[in-house]
């Protein structure tokens, strides 16, 4: 079985791989891995946005693009500088408390709850609380968690996820911080407390809490803040949710059980006040997007661009785990940038010709809230209307052979048809997002392009529910995701990564050569953004 499949893959890819590797008919993934090794080495110190090491990584990527004959497409050569305001919670001068009746209960920042510096917090907040279910408002689904509740001047408490009556894409969209804040603000809400659904947490609470010392960033360019006016944003440890729910007659177990049974969540007033003091240290940094073009060959189409994105940044240093405080981000997302570089190398070595141009963008600030891609999509270095698609690669997790591809956004645009065409040629099976409640569709850089009307996809290694591969993925998320162990000392299937890169390259070539540019499906929720782009 194994051998037959390998032969089939070899036959399909032999054409350019023979050229790429001097007659060798199989890409063993070592070239792709060599890029990961550079970007995720300890010397890169976790590629924190705005750090000297991130700049060094950006210059490395630019040098590879140049070597491969790609045209500079930044503002200063290959580099597009991006300016950020930085925020860091000054924990010694910050506090949280719940007031029930006359009694004040101090809340330990870290073990019990954290104040997110992604929203610029007001110095002091004192407000009532209301539990608003999932905290979603989706007019097209006639769904409104805020309707009929007294929400004025209050802090909304909600649980992550969404109702079974809404599509995964719709839940993802309305769970984004921008859309959620729009709905909350219009209901007079002043801040939010998110309780993660303990059944769908990527990270154990201890690691969420450990991330609270991270510097957060906002784009410095005017008009780019999505949470203007939000006074406080808090994440609450689900194991401590009973403190919040005291006196309501409701428990988190009951709420989680309702969510898991796909029943409506209760919504209710909470007879308590939250008191918060938030002190913040502020600063400024500059970081880098890196952009390069493989020019198209067709006079009619070469001014259109098929974009491939991956994020260059990771989270730098963090709380030590087993004595290691460098968060290398090998899979998140040195692996994706390495795929950009691997494909750029293959284009050169095969002297590939595509009708449309291919635009490679290694973006910064993803871990800070998709900020580098948000900036690039708002200030593209090619005309916005000429960007026809974005294919994003973020943490695709080549931990086992590549037989199934998970495609986020599969049913939203004609790009899904292109995926199916490549997949059937390569004998790879295709599945849509298997766990929409994780909101992956809005959690990486494709979303920045979607908001500008660009049909987009993100692709990952797929695993069937309940399979050993699904176990491997789950274990990776709980043990290595945003931990120092996402480094170069982990088992990775390099051959499978090379096959994945073949898949992405063929997909980009197919889209670049197609007679028509990709289109959102008419019934897709995201087609609403189309008009704004053209």
Give the residues lining the site for Zn ion (CB under 5 A): 332
| Lookup: tokens for 426 | 């390569």
Give the SS3 label for residue 305.
strand
Contact 445, 367 (CB under 8 A): no
Nearest CB to Zn ion, comparing residues 176 and 231: 176
Closest to Zn ion by CB, 412 or 445: 445
Contacts (Cβ under 8 Å, ≥6 apart) of 335: 36, 393, 395, 396, 397, 398, 497
> Which one, 16 or 408, has the nearer CB to Zn ion?
408
Measured distance CA(380)–CA(372) in Å, rounded? 11
Please report how close the Cβ of residue 482 comes to Zn ion at its closest, in angstroms: 6
Distances (CA, A) of 119 to 22, 74, 192, 464: 53, 29, 10, 37
Asked if residues 502 and 347 have their Cβ atoms less than 8 Å apart, the reply is: no
Shortest separation between residue 302's beta carbon and Zn ion, angstroms: 34
Least distance in angstroms from the C-beta of 385 to Zn ion: 31
CA 333 from chain center: how many Å?
A: 10
The CB-of-225 to Zn ion minimum distance in angstroms stands at 21
Shortest reach from residue 438's CB to Zn ion, in Å: 13
Distance CA(284)–CA(274), nearest Å, equals: 31
Q: How far is the CB of 367 from Zn ion (least distance, A)?
A: 5
- If the CB atoms of residues 332 and 418 are measured against Zn ion, the closer one turns out to be 332
Q: Which is nearer to Zn ion, 332 or 460 (CB)?
A: 332
Min dist CB 332 to Zn ion, Å, is 4
HEC profile of 15-53: HHHHHHCCCCCCCCCHHHHHHHHHHCCHHHCCCECCCHH
Q: How far apart are CA 387 and CA 450, in angstroms?
A: 11
> What is the nearest approach in angstroms of Zn ion to the Cβ of residue 456?
18
Taking the C-alpha atoms of residue 481 and residue 462, their distance in angstroms, rounded to an integer, is 17
Q: What are residue 269's DSSP bridge partners?
A: 130
Q: Which residue is nearest to Zn ion (CB)?
A: 332
533 contacts: CB under 8 Å, gap ≥ 6: 384, 385, 387, 452, 453, 454
Q: Between residues 27 and 332, which has the closer beta carbon with respect to Zn ion?
A: 332
Shortest spacing between CB 443 and Zn ion, in angstroms: 9
Nearer of residues 145 and 313 to Zn ion, judged by Cβ: 313
Residue number with CB closer to Zn ion (46 or 162): 46
DSSP letters for 51-66: SHHHHHHHHHHHHHHH
Q: For Zn ion, give the closer residue by CB, 191 or 336.
A: 336
* Strand boundaries in 262-402, DSSP class E: 268-277, 280-294, 305-311, 317-321, 324-326, 357-363, 387-392
């Amino acid at each position: 079985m194994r051998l037959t499949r390998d032969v089939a893959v070899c036959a399909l890819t032999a054409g350019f791989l023979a050229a790429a590797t001097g007659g060798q008919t199989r890409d063993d993934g070592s070239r792709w891995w060599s890029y990961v090794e550079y970007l995720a080495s300890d010397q890169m110190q976790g590629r924190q946005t705005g750090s000297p090491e991130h700049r060094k990584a950006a210059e490395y990527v630019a040098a590879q693009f140049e070597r491969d004959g790609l045209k500079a497409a930044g503002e200063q050569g290959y580099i597009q500088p991006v300016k950020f305001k930085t925020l860091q919670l000054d924990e010694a001068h910050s506090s949280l408390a719940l007031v029930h009746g006359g009694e004040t209960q101090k809340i330990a920042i870290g073990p019990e709850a954290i104040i997110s510096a992604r929203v610029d917090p007001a110095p002091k907040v004192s407000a009532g609380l209301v539990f608003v279910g999932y905290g979603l408002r989706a007019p097209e689904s006639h769904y409104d968690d805020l309707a009929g509740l007294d929400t004025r001047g209050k802090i909304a408490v909600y649980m992550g996820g969404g109702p079974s009556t809404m599509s995964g894409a719709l839940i993802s969209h309305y769970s984004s911080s921008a859309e959620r804040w729009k709905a909350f603000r219009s209901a007079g809400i002043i801040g939010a407390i998110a309780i993660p659904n303990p059944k769908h947490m990527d990270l154990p609470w201890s690691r969420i809490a450990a991330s609270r010392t991270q510097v957060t960033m906002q784009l410095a360019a005017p008009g780019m803040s999505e949470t203007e006016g939000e006074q406080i944003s808090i994440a609450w440890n689900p194991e401590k949710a009973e403190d919040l729910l005291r006196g309501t007659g409701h428990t988190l177990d009951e709420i989680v059980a309702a969510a898991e049974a796909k029943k409506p969540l209760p919504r209710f007033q909470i007879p308590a006040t939250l008191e918060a003091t938030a002190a913040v240290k502020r600063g400024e940094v500059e970081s880098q997007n890196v952009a390069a073009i493989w020019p198209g060959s067709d006079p009619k189409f070469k001014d259109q661009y098929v974009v491939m994105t991956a994020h260059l940044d990771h989270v730098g240093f963090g709380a030590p785990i087993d004595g290691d405080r460098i968060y290398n981000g090998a899979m998140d997302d040195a692996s994706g940038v390495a795929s950009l570089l691997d494909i750029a190398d293959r284009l050169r070595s095969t002297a590939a010709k595509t009708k449309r141009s291919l635009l490679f963008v290694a973006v910064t600030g993803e871990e800070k809230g998709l900020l580098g891609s948000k900036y690039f999509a708002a200030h593209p270095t090619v005309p916005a209307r000429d960007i026809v698609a974005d294919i994003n690669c973020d943490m695709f997790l080549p931990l086992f052979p590549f037989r199934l591809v998970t495609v986020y956004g599969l049913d939203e645009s004609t790009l899904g048809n292109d995926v199916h065409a490549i997949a059937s040629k390569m004998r790879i099976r295709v599945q849509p997002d298997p766990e929409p409640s994780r909101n992956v569709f809005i959690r990486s850089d494709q979303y920045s392009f979607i908001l500008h009307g660009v049909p987009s996809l993100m692709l990952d290694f797929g695993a069937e529910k309940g399979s050993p591969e699904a176990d491997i993925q789950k274990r990776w998320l709980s043990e290595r995701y945003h931990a120092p162990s996402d480094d170069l000392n982990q088992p990775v299937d390099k051959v499978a990564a090379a096959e994945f890169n073949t898949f992405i390259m063929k997909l980009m070539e197919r889209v670049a050569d197609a007679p028509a540019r990709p289109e959102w499906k008419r019934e897709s929720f995201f087609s609403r953004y189309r008009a704004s782009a053209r």
